[in-house]
Amino acid sequence: MKTTNKQPKTIIEYAMWLHVKTSSWVAGMIGPMVFNYGTTDKNWGLSTTELLQYPEGSLGKALGDFLKLHEVEILTGAEYHDIHHILFDYSISFKDEVALQFFLHGNGKKSIASVSTRIGAWCLLPTEWKYLKASYERGKKCKDVSKLNFKNMLHDDFSQVKASLFN
């Protein structure tokens, strides 16, 4: 997960910068454990390069573009998580990673990662409560994504897939 390299100028900015750096480090330590042991998702066996070969405008191409833009490779077992970023408009910033967990919890995902992220966020991100609550409410309004097979949808039109989730 990337964090800003901008140097803080005030004590409050420094405290927030230190908080984000520490939280990002913790997420980096916990994330691989969640994706390796806390998920039943199967590996898609696709690389960013292969996703970039999908047709222009497709879900697969949009995912490849997102991964390339952020200079990350798709994580084994985290393919659904990565696709959620593009479908629900969340970046890979620490704040948006947390907001995505709130969105998914609102959508019905009650995993250990979702619950623990929510608990931690209320303590660690008090300035983002309004944003996180809005993400949770958005998740409640979205079609249940737990039963969708996004791997089978990689050739589908990205805009149509995205629009269908909120109809």
Confidence (pLDDT) at 1: 40
Q: What's the CA gap between 97 and 93, in Å, rounded?
A: 6
- Write down the residue that tokens 């109809």 correspond to: 167
Average the pLDDT over each of 14-18, 29-33, 45-49, 59-63 and give the range with the smallest value.
29-33
Rg (CA), the chain: 16
Per-residue tokens: 48: 């960013």
- Write down the residue that tokens 């907001």 correspond to: 99
Please report how the helices 59-69 and 79-88 are oriented relative to each other, as an axis angle in degrees rounded to 10: 90
Q: Is the predicted pLDDT of residue 3 greater than 50, yes or no?
A: no
DSSP 8-state symbol, 157: B
Phi, psi torsion values for 58, nearest 5 degrees: -85, 160
Confidence (pLDDT) at 27: 57
The answer to whether 61 and 54 have CB atoms below 8 angstroms apart is: yes
Confidence band, pLDDT 50/70/90 cuts, at residue 53 = very high
Residues in the chain: 167
pLDDT digits (tens, 9 = 90+) for 56-92: 999 999 999 999 998 888 877 778 889 999 999 999 8
At 74, which helix (H) or strand (E)?
none
Most confident among 21-30, 53-62, 101-110 (mean pLDDT): 53-62
Confidence (pLDDT) at 151: 94
Q: Is the predicted pLDDT of residue 41 greater than 60, yes or no?
A: no
Confidence (pLDDT) at 4: 46
Question: Given CA atoms 21, 119, 90, 146 in this order, what sign does their dihedral have?
Answer: positive
Q: What's the CA gap between 156 and 159, in Å, rounded?
A: 9
Question: Given CA atoms 92, 97, 102, 105 in this order, what sign does their dihedral have?
Answer: positive
Q: Is the predicted pLDDT of residue 5 greater than 60, yes or no?
A: no
